[in-house]
Structure 1
Amino acid sequence: MLEALKALRADTSPLTRRHPDHVFLPLAELLGIWEADGIDTALFRTGAESAGRRYATCGLTRMLPFERVLVGCASSRAGVFGGFHHPDQGYRHFQMVAVVTVHGPMKSRIPECPSSALLDLLRAYAHDSLHFGSRRRYVEAAGVPFRTQYGINFRRTGGQSYSAADSWDSRHTRNLGIVMEGACDREARAITRRTAELFGVAQPMDPLGALAFRDMTGALTDEDALGRVDVPEGAGETRYAAALRDYENSVNRRYARFLAEFAPGEETECHDVLISTMISGDVDILGAWLDERHGPGSFTGLFRTPGYFDPA
């Protein structure tokens, strides 16, 4: 099984082949190109160091290596708009690689708005470093590796997930995948917000740039989430804004409501326990925290789907 995992991690081409029009470079190489072109990347580097210090307090001893981040920095396809909400990207646990794209029109390897590109890249890197650092457990199933644990979430080899998916129109969540995704992004946005403040980065003037900035820094309004902010009519920009709103409503707002629902007045403390538990994989820590406030068996009662132990 270990040899099979090594082979998967040695070949990242299946991931980049999904974007045949894009040019991908390792993060360190891309930063070097930008620096050679006169772009100051201190904003990203400082934020990444800040993320490392913060995550170390939660038990994470190693951040996602820059060489395991593949950045789509240009595209031969007209009208492509990149960034955190570009389709079919993110951290891939089998390959231990993050596939991301540079925020903005992907006309060339040099970003149209460097500060926005660096902040968006920081948000993605801080987010995916938590995915990279969350506890994973693999077993062999039908001759191939199968992930049975990721952070605080579990899956049986027959395919049964510990928690059921939320309904598409739900305002709340009882899904562990959404909880962990929301926790990762809450951290990433907080780091991005503090870094933007440290460097004095102002919100862009154009509508989509301003919307994306509020998204990167965790400052989206109700009007933003409802789609009542005008954005340019380009197909790439329109798709990006729609994906941004969908992610806000289906992940970040559901996670915020979960914290408010089960940790009123203690949202920050509950969030910190969640992050530490994801990294350690010791669900008893989170379970004990919830039991103290909501009674015995709270974790199971909140999250476990009735069919989890049913035969596949």
Structure 2
Amino acid sequence: MAALSAMRADASPLTDKHPAHVFRPLSEILSRWAADGVDTTPFHSGVEDAKRRYAHYGLSRILPFDRVLVGCESTRPGAFGGFHHPDQGYRHLQMVAVITMHGPMERRTPERPALALLDLLRAYSHDCLHYGSRRRYVEVAGLPVRTQYGINYRRATGQQYSVADGHGSRHTRNLGVVMEGACDREARSITRRAAEHFGITGPVDVLGALAFRDMTGTLTEQDSQRVVDVSESAERAQYAAALRNYEIGVNRRYLNFLGEFAPGEECECHTRLLAAVISGDTTALGAWLDDRHGPGTFAGLFRTPGYFGPGLTA
């Protein structure tokens, strides 16, 4: 606990990875944007929606705004931010989410406020689920080592419960991918409802339209396969490529997983899975899968052979 407390008192090791960007707490960013004339209502409304939904899964407390750092006002020419910006997201040891303002970052306020607010809502809703996922730590050589995250496990030696998916696989047997996909499916659902409620539509330019469909979970199969040419900016091109890779490697695999093991019951399976991620208890989820696919389905799907060696129990 002492080691974790020390890590959580100082987020500079995370923000120092982005020396060109200025990071401020989410509450301050929202206040600055509002002072500059940006209507932040869609974000706040979406957060209230997330609170209600997440309480249903057993999450009683969402990620505090002061544990979310948002980067903007970059000194790097051509800097482009958003959900797929490199090396950002929730970090469990520091208990801090580091995210960036969507769009050109050499600014105090976003170039496209509505799009940036949706991206912020998607990122925050996503990271709230990471924040609320069950975690367990052990001490190894004076340092905390996470042995459980949601419904994923690993030994203190680093041995993973499930193995990485093969390159190019359309399906997944990796619990990290399943949980990441579940968190993003939920976050994008919240963002999509906010966009619909406030009448926010996507831009007409290629990258803007693609980003809007990504934020709201409305990307098509064709979107995930197309290569977007963004010749005016290397960082925009990198962002488009990262968006595509994430859609293929996470969201499409999770979608295929639900269709494979819960055909016609995808929403029910998704709901049970998120509840298990928050509680860290796979009993109800495992029983639900067993009823449909036979005993031991969860372990049969995900546990790598040899995970439990001599003297080790489930």
Aligned to 1:169: 168
Tell me the alpha carbon deviations over residues 168-215 of structure 1, each in whole angstroms, 9 at most, x when there is no partner: 211100000000000000000000000000000011111111000000
Structural mapping, 1:132-151, within 5 Å: 132-151=131-150
How many angstroms does 1:86 deviate by?
0.2
Tell me the alpha carbon deviations over residues 128-171 of structure 1, each in whole angstroms, 9 at most, x when there is no partner: 00000000011111221111100000010011000000012111
Q: Does 1:206 align with 2:205?
A: yes
CA distance in 1, matches of 2:227, 2:169: 20
Q: Does 1:302 align with 2:305?
A: no
Contact 2:43 2:121 in 1 (8 A): yes
CA distance in 2, matches of 1:217, 1:287: 30
Q: Report the TM-score, using the length of structure 1 for normalisation.
A: 0.98
Q: Report the TM-score, using the length of structure 2 for normalisation.
A: 0.97
Contact 1:139 1:146 in 2 (8 A): yes
CA distance in 2, matches of 1:234, 1:201: 26
How many angstroms does 1:233 deviate by?
3.3
CA distance in 1, matches of 2:263, 2:40: 39
Paired amino acid for 1:84:
F
Aligned residues: 310
Aligned to 1:80: 79
SS at match of 2:171: coil
How many angstroms does 1:307 deviate by?
3.1
How many angstroms does 1:309 deviate by?
2.8
Contact 1:223 1:229 in 2 (8 A): no
How many angstroms does 1:232 deviate by?
4.6
SS at match of 1:167: coil
Tell me the alpha carbon deviations over residues 44-96 of structure 1, each in whole angstroms, 9 at most, x when there is no partner: 01101110111001100001000000001221001111000000000000010
Structural mapping, 1:114-263, within 5 Å: 114-263=113-262
For structure 1, which runs of at least 5 residues remain unmatched after alignment?
A: none
Paired amino acid for 2:96:
V
Paired amino acid for 1:176:
L
Runs ≥4 in structure 1, deviation > 3 angstroms?
Answer: 228-233
CA distance in 1, matches of 2:17, 2:303: 34
**Alpha carbon RMSD of aligned pairs, Å?**
1.0
CA distance in 2, matches of 1:309, 1:49: 42
Contact 1:208 1:232 in 2 (8 A): no
Paired amino acid for 1:303:
F
SS at match of 1:75: coil
Q: Does 1:275 align with 2:278?
A: no
CA distance in 2, matches of 1:105, 1:310: 51
For structure 2, which runs of at least 5 residues remain unmatched after alignment?
A: none
SS at match of 1:270: helix
SS at match of 2:73: strand
Contact 1:9 1:96 in 2 (8 A): yes
Paired amino acid for 1:134:
S
